[in-house]
Amino acid sequence: MLQLQDPSLLRPSCYLDGAWVAADDGSTIAVTNPATGQTIAQVPRCGAAEAERAIAAAEQALAPWRDTTAAQRSRILRRWFELMLAHQDDLAAIMTAEQGKPLAEARGEIAYAASYIEWFAEEAKRAYGEVIPSPAQDRQIVVTRESIGVCAAITPWNFPSAMITRKVAPALAAGCTIVVKPAEQTPLSALALAELAERAGVPAGVLNVITGQASAIGGVMTASPTVRKLSFTGSTPVGQLLMQQCAGTVKKLSLELGGNAPFIVFDDADVDAAVAGALASKYRNAGQTCVCSNRFLVQAGVYDRFAQKLAEAVACLPVGNGMDAGVAQGPLIDQAALHKVEALVQDALAHGARIATGGARHALGGTWYQPTVLTHVTDAMAVMREEIFGPVAPLQRFESEAEAVRLANDTPFGLAAYFFTQSHARVWRVARQLEYGIVGINTGAISTEVAPFGGVKLSGLGREGSRHGLDEYMTLKYLALGGL
């Protein structure tokens, strides 16, 4: 059983209009611990009817919430942020139990998730409009920024807290109300956040969290004329489906979808720094993040040295149950994830790749996979084309800068890219040519609430975090004042 300092944070009910409720028909979904296979809790298996009610509650709550001052909303958000930090250990334990990531990473995610609430508590007060010089003397042109209205959010399991606060905090800061459907694998982190939001003073109906049948709930959210904005983080096929479903009501959309991040190491790179960056960007969350480097492009002059150093470092990563001290890599989320990683590695080996370290399931069994480095990889292999979402680094050799840029851009995705070089001119040259929303240069750590996160091409639309993150939940109104 999960031991918490505050057991009331484990909430196996949906949060709808300020009440904790079961599914109408009483049905539930089991939440399991990927490290042990044990059931942690049963959460409601809601469907269309509950989604309709959650949207109606958000609609009811909209006018009074929108009419509060920015300072009032800011103070409530600030309390929510403080409560998250006060309960960081419990929230991290819940996350590790349902998601599998090491406890230290889970604590880090709670701080990171909370940072979005702090940031947007501050940004709420800065939703400035503008006055535009008028083309006529008897006119004044004023632009205001207003809350877009009722919003919906659908979130994934890899960052069970941060993917929610990135959406909910700017929505609430902007004066919107919202209905959230968390991933079925990780609903308990979402429900714990709702519990703390309630304690912070978020009024009934302003934030609603419903768990259950994804396509039924998503269908209602996207078809509803009341919902004016959908924010989704997840796979590209589901994002495309939701985009189609939103066409009928012409909703504003934020989509944060799949990636295929290249990690380029040039001959003039600091190889030790590149290895550290590779470890940070590839093996965090067992490789299950949308900005994880997916394919490594390494210039011929440093290929062997980089491969050897990376393989040595990767072979030392402690693998185990995320709850245990010192563990750097937990299990994969489920059997399907394990099978995908296994198939991609097998395919690469069949086509001539070689194992530098790892390359198979871990002796722990379950859904653990060994931290892996593959060499002699080519861009014809599936492992370089598909999002691996596992702890596998495939290394391809290249000769020239132009070849590296061509290979890096040869994908329909465009979320994150990384490169390592000590040449000042190359930094700017390559950064300019990469068709990506985020570029990490001499660093594998790119995520922060102060910067705009998001992609181009099939990786999505819109930005989360930074001052731009608030715009996603606002609309411009132009006032033409005549007869002055």
Which positions are catalytic?
A: 256
Q: Which stretch binds ligand ADP (CB under 6 A): 46-54, 235-243, 311-319, 373-381?
A: 235-243
By CB under 6 A, is residue 414 in contact with ligand ADP?
no
Q: Indicate the residue among 74 and 99 with the shorter CB distance to ligand ADP.
A: 99
Who's near 305: CB < 8 A, 6+ residues apart? Answer: 271
Give least dist CB 40 to ligand ADP, A.
18
Which parts of 124-262 fold into alpha helices (H)?
Answer: 162-174, 187-200, 214-223, 236-246
Exactly one of 89, 184, 334, 435 binds ligand ADP (CB under 6 A); that residue is: 184
By CB under 6 A, is residue 238 in contact with ligand ADP?
yes
Exactly one of 183, 193, 278, 430 binds ligand ADP (CB under 6 A); that residue is: 183
Give least dist CB 183 to ligand ADP, A.
4
By CB under 6 A, is residue 234 in contact with ligand ADP?
yes
Q: Indicate the residue among 182 and 437 with the shorter CB distance to ligand ADP.
A: 182
Exactly one of 43, 93, 154, 310 binds ligand ADP (CB under 6 A); that residue is: 154
Number of residues that bind ligand ADP (CB under 6 A): 13
Give least dist CB 167 to ligand ADP, A.
12
Q: Which stretch binds ligand ADP (CB under 6 A): 34-42, 74-82, 230-238, 319-327?
A: 230-238
In sequence order, the β-bridge partners of residue 256 are 233, 460
Q: Is 7 helix (H, G, I), strand (E, B) or coil?
A: helix
CA distance 336 to 101: 17
CA distance 408 to 390: 20
By CB under 6 A, is residue 235 in contact with ligand ADP?
yes
Q: Indicate the residue among 38 and 244 with the shorter CB distance to ligand ADP.
A: 244
Give least dist CB 369 to ligand ADP, A.
17
| Joined tokens for residue 414 | 């465009």
- 272-331 binders of ligand ADP (CB under 6 A): none
First-residue to last-residue Cα distance in the chain: 70
Give least dist CB 120 to ligand ADP, A.
22
For residue 97, give Cα distances in angstroms to 30, 91, 249, 320, 334: 13, 10, 38, 13, 13
Site string for ligand ADP, 190-229 (x = CB under 6 A): ------------------------xx--x-----------
Exposed, middle or buried: residue 442 (CB in 10 Å: 0-12, 13-18, 19+)? Answer: middle
| Nearest position to ligand ADP, beta carbon | 218
Q: Indicate the residue among 40 and 246 with the shorter CB distance to ligand ADP.
A: 246
Q: Indicate the residue among 161 and 421 with the shorter CB distance to ligand ADP.
A: 161
What radius of gyration do the chain's Cα atoms show?
A: 23
In sequence order, the β-bridge partners of residue 456 are 414
Q: Indicate the residue among 238 and 319 with the shorter CB distance to ligand ADP.
A: 238
Give least dist CB 159 to ligand ADP, A.
10
CA distance 310 to 327: 18
CB 109 within 8 A of CB 161: yes
Give least dist CB 282 to ligand ADP, A.
18
Closest of 126, 43, 40, 121 to residue 83, by C-alpha: 121
Q: Indicate the residue among 161 and 299 with the shorter CB distance to ligand ADP.
A: 161
Which parts of 256-412 fold into alpha helices (H)?
Answer: 271-282, 300-315, 335-350, 382-385, 401-409
Who's near 35: CB < 8 A, 6+ residues apart? Answer: 100, 321, 322, 323, 330, 331, 366
Residues binding ligand ADP (CB under 6 A): 154-156, 181, 183-184, 214-215, 218, 234-235, 238, 241
